[in-house]
């Protein structure tokens, strides 16, 4: 589900919404407020529009040629997040670095 802080930003482009979401994720990670973080397709503006189309037309897909954010920094974020969900332990510095890589990747689209 998209965070309400993002939904209220009605004058933003898709890319701005995607970046705003990841900047919020970074803020929550800095505060170690992991319960607020959502990195699933349900939280992504691009996925809302392109996932059912097998990602065709998605700016990430256009850059990578891959579906589902394969071969992007998102995979590292997801791996760290999954490990946290599984064992309850978080290497926050590593997580923040991965988030920063994802933000930089998205900015470059």
pLDDT, tens digit, for every residue of 30-39? Answer: 999 998 899 9
How far apart CA 30 and CA 34 sit, in angstroms, is 9
Which pLDDT does position 8 carry in this prediction? 58
Q: Tell whether the model's pLDDT for residue 4 goes beyond 50.
A: no
Which pLDDT does position 10 carry in this prediction? 67
What residues does each domain of the chain span? 4-107
Cβ neighbourhood burial of 98 (10 Å; 0-12, 13-18, 19+): buried
Record the tokens describing residue 56, joined without a space: 């065709």
Say which DSSP state 33 is in: -
Check if the beta carbon of residue 34 is closer than 8 Å to that of residue 90. Answer: yes
- Average pLDDT, whole number, for the chain? 91
Q: Tell whether the model's pLDDT for residue 62 goes beyond 50.
A: yes
| pTM score of the predicted model | 0.89
pLDDT, mean of residues 35-61: 94
């Amino acid at each position: 589900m998209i965070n309400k802080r993002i939904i209220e930003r009605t004058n933003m482009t898709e890319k701005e919404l995607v970046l705003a979401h990841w900047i919020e994720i970074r803020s929550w990670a800095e505060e170690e407020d992991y319960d607020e973080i959502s990195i699933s397709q349900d939280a992504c503006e691009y996925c809302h529009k392109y996932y059912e189309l097998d990602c065709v037309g998605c700016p990430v897909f256009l850059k990578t040629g891959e579906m589902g954010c394969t071969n992007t920094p998102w995979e590292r974020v997801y791996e760290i997040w999954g490990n946290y969900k599984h064992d309850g332990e978080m290497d926050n510095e590593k997580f923040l670095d991965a988030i920063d890589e994802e933000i930089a990747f998205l900015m470059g689209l």
